[in-house]
Amino acid sequence: MNGLNQRFDPGFVWGVATSAYQIEGATSEDGRGPSIWDTFAASPGRTFEGHTGDVAVDHYHRWPEDVALVRDLGLGAYRFSVAWPRIQPEGRGPAEPRGLAFYDRLVDGLLEAGIEPWPTLFHWDLPQALEDAGGWPERETAERFADYAAIVVDALGDRVRNWTTLNEPWCAAFLGYGAGIHAPGRTEPAAALAASHHLHLAHGLAVPRIREGRPEARVGVTLNLYAVSPADDTGRHDDAARRIDGLMNRWFLDPVLLGRYPQDVLDDLAGSTGLDAIRDEDLDVISAPLDFLGINYYSRHVVEASPWPGASEVGFVDRVWPKTASGWDIDPAGLGEVLRQVGADYPSIPIYITENGAAFDDAVSEEGTVQDHDRIDFIAGHLAQVADAVDAGIDVRGYFAWSLLDNFEWAEGYAKRFGIVHVDFDTLARTPKASARWFAELARTSSTKERA
């Protein structure tokens, strides 16, 4: 463990993360309505070998076993998401009691096991009915989200303290409506921009609804942030790096934490019709004070300018570099850079790493064990960066490994395994990998300050 455990305060939060569509299954049970991911995954050619979340890892029925896994690992916190289509099958209107009852049981089960629930209200599974009405590019979707948030908080707020509004709005907006590789699979750049703004607005409208009558609630948002570097140090690619950092990081950080969109990105985007979605008065709503920022970090982007003089396109450089099974560069130093950038530009916000982890092609031994030392190295490397950031005075208060379980990795289906617990996708049997044991020991000894 190389003393890593000695580097975190006893109060540091150690947890694991999941999301509803990736693990629950039971997509047509107990009144759940269809989500955009049901529709997308059922459309030919959208996901790896046509995989869907219909069964996923059956967490909807096996949640007691999954809670017991987290308890047996001795982890103090569990980040999960609430499926909006279970609560409001049509995305609006009265709550479906059976959907609420599921999360009610889950929260009680977690608390009984001594695990703090950290729910996220939106992790990409928009009710299909709202997409049929226009989806995130429509302003009304933001208002529906705030109503939905209020329903969930009313039901669970007596027991849940830490609320996250959105997970990775960049992915929901730009992968879902721009690149079209995530649900709902639209390739409309203007719609993607409008979607990003309405996701921010949804977040901002939800914050006071979560706090209403719950003064003890802590509210945050989770963003996927990237380290971004130019392809070389000639200066030729610096503007490309600025553009990508602007669109992937600051476009999401600035409105929420500073109450404005970054001017350089607005200038880059000048003339895009999607910008019409932004009304000046929205920014006050969007920048409602928060208690924490969740950061999901996976990798770095190295970018280069277009070879054509004057062109604004940028290219992503595929470096010769160690990679995960997802093809993402393993770059723990990038997490340190992201933390230093956030610490410098948004100094007063407490930070939790709400996701970090890696897919590897895990080999299952004859005895059924998974010796995933590559994943242990990955997590250890990133945690060392977190410890360095804390030493440098950056207020990082917790780390959630992605993910508790191997699960449905969106367009990649079940082909990429991120879990610290192995799931046999035929039998759905769960087996903790070596990384789970290592992570549990790190959390235990760092909380008690024993030397492991």
Select 96 or 409, whichever has its Cβ closest to ligand IFM.
Answer: 409
The least CB distance from residue 418 to ligand IFM, in Å, is 6
Q: Is 355 a catalytic residue?
A: yes
Instruction: Round to whole Å and give the CA distance between 219 and 206.
Output: 10
Binder to ligand IFM among 257, 386, 409, 435 (CB under 6 A)? 409
| 8 part of the interface to ligand IFM, by CB under 6 A | no
Interface pattern 350-369 for ligand IFM (x via CB under 6 A)? -----x--------------
Instruction: Round to whole Å and give the CA distance between 62 and 119.
Output: 18
Q: Is 382 annotated as a binding residue?
A: no
Total length of the chain: 452
| 164 part of the interface to ligand IFM, by CB under 6 A | no
Looking at residue 30, what DSSP letter applies?
T
Cα separation values, 247 from 72, 170, 441, Å? 41, 9, 38
Cα torsion at 55, 58, 59, 61 (round to 10°)?
A: 120
The count of other CB atoms within 10 Å of the CB of residue 192 is 24
CA angle 124, 126, 131 (to 5 degrees): 130
Q: Is 409 annotated as a binding residue?
A: yes
Select 147 or 412, whichever has its Cβ closest to ligand IFM.
Answer: 412
Q: Is 298 annotated as a binding residue?
A: yes
Q: Is 128 annotated as a binding residue?
A: no
Binder to ligand IFM among 38, 125, 168, 282 (CB under 6 A)? 168
Catalytic residue (choose from 131, 138, 337, 355): 355
Binder to ligand IFM among 4, 12, 16, 19 (CB under 6 A)? 19
Helix 189-211 vs helix 140-156: angle between axes, to the nearest 10 degrees?
Answer: 30
Reported as type and span, the H/E element at residue 252 is helix 251-258
The least CB distance from residue 298 to ligand IFM, in Å, is 6
Q: Which tokens hold the place of 409?
A: 């990795």
The least CB distance from residue 359 to ligand IFM, in Å, is 7
| 296 part of the interface to ligand IFM, by CB under 6 A | yes
Among residue numbers 300 through 319, which ones bind ligand IFM (CB under 6 A)? none
Q: Is 84 annotated as a binding residue?
A: no
The count of other CB atoms within 10 Å of the CB of residue 320 is 6
The least CB distance from residue 254 to ligand IFM, in Å, is 21
Q: Is 224 annotated as a binding residue?
A: no
Select 356 or 446, whichever has its Cβ closest to ligand IFM.
Answer: 356
The least CB distance from residue 224 to ligand IFM, in Å, is 6
Instruction: Round to whole Å and give the CA distance between 399 and 67.
Output: 18
Q: Is 168 a catalytic residue?
A: yes
Q: Is 123 annotated as a binding residue?
A: yes
Reported as type and span, the H/E element at residue 39 is helix 36-42
Helix (H, G, I), strand (E, B) or coil at 119: strand
Catalytic residue (choose from 24, 138, 168, 337): 168
Residue with tokens 């669109």: 247
Residues 6+ apart with CB under 8 A from 43: 185
Q: Decide: 331 and 227 in contact? Cβ < 8 Å.
A: yes
The least CB distance from residue 452 to ligand IFM, in Å, is 28
User: Which residue(s) pair with 162 in the sheet?
Assistant: 218
Binder to ligand IFM among 148, 402, 414, 439 (CB under 6 A)? 402
Q: Residues binding ligand IFM: what is the number (CB under 6 A)?
A: 8
Instruction: Round to whole Å and give the CA distance between 95 and 88.
Output: 5
φ/ψ of residue 35, rounded to 5: -110, 170
φ/ψ of residue 48, rounded to 5: -55, 120
The least CB distance from residue 296 to ligand IFM, in Å, is 5
| 81 part of the interface to ligand IFM, by CB under 6 A | no
Annotated binding-site positions:
22, 123, 167, 298, 402, 409-410
**Residues making contact with ligand IFM (CB under 6 A):** 19, 22, 168, 296, 355, 402, 409, 418
Active site residues: 168, 355
Annotated binding site for substrate: 22, 123, 167, 298, 402, 409-410
